[in-house]
Amino acid sequence: QSVLTQPPSVSGAPGQRVTISCTGSSSNIGAGYDVHWYQQFPGTAPKLLIFGNTNRPSGVPDRFSGSKSGTSASLAISGLQAEDEADYYCQSYGSSLIGPYVVFGGGTKLTVL
């Protein structure tokens, strides 16, 4: 069971806007750690999509946006395209007695109808 909670699946029609939530707790996202998002196509490695809650690496379309509030974060994809169909994962850090450690969400499968 993943530390961060994501919906298993979301769907939308081309051109629509969808959001994927990532829910944590006071020991991870709520502790002030940034949230990052990754996109993964079948059989390939994850690719960084959003870093530092809201920032897009070079080359990522501005259709992708991120936000964070309290113990949760969200990834929004506007103007949905067929090529956006993939798995999406959120990542942050968690606090422990041995220091901060990386935590992932359980992933969300996006289906473009």
Partner 1 sequence: QITLKESGPTLVKPTQTLTLTCTFSGFSLITGGVGVGWIRQPPGKALEWLALIYWDDDKRYSPSLKSRLTITKDTSKNQVVLTVTNMDPVDTATYYCAHKTSGRYDLGWWGQGTLVTVSS
Among 23, 65, 74, 91, binds partner 1 (CB under 8 A): 91
93 forms part of the interface with partner 1 (CB under 8 A): yes
The smaller minimum CB distance to partner 1, of residues 16 and 54, is found at: 54
**Beta carbon of residue 16, minimum distance to partner 1 (angstroms, whole number):** 25
**Beta carbon of residue 74, minimum distance to partner 1 (angstroms, whole number):** 16
**Beta carbon of residue 46, minimum distance to partner 1 (angstroms, whole number):** 6
The DSSP string of the chain is --SBB--SEEEE-TT--EEEEEE--TTTGGGT---EEEEE-TTS--EEEEBTTTBPPTT--TTEEEEEETTEEEEEE-S--GGG-EEEEEEEEE--TT--EEEEB--EEEEE-
87, 9 Cβ separation under 8 angstroms: no
30 forms part of the interface with partner 1 (CB under 8 A): no
Among 9, 26, 69, 102, binds partner 1 (CB under 8 A): 102
Q: Which residues bind partner 1 (CB under 8 A)?
A: 2, 33-34, 36, 38, 44-48, 51-52, 57, 89, 91, 93, 96, 98-107
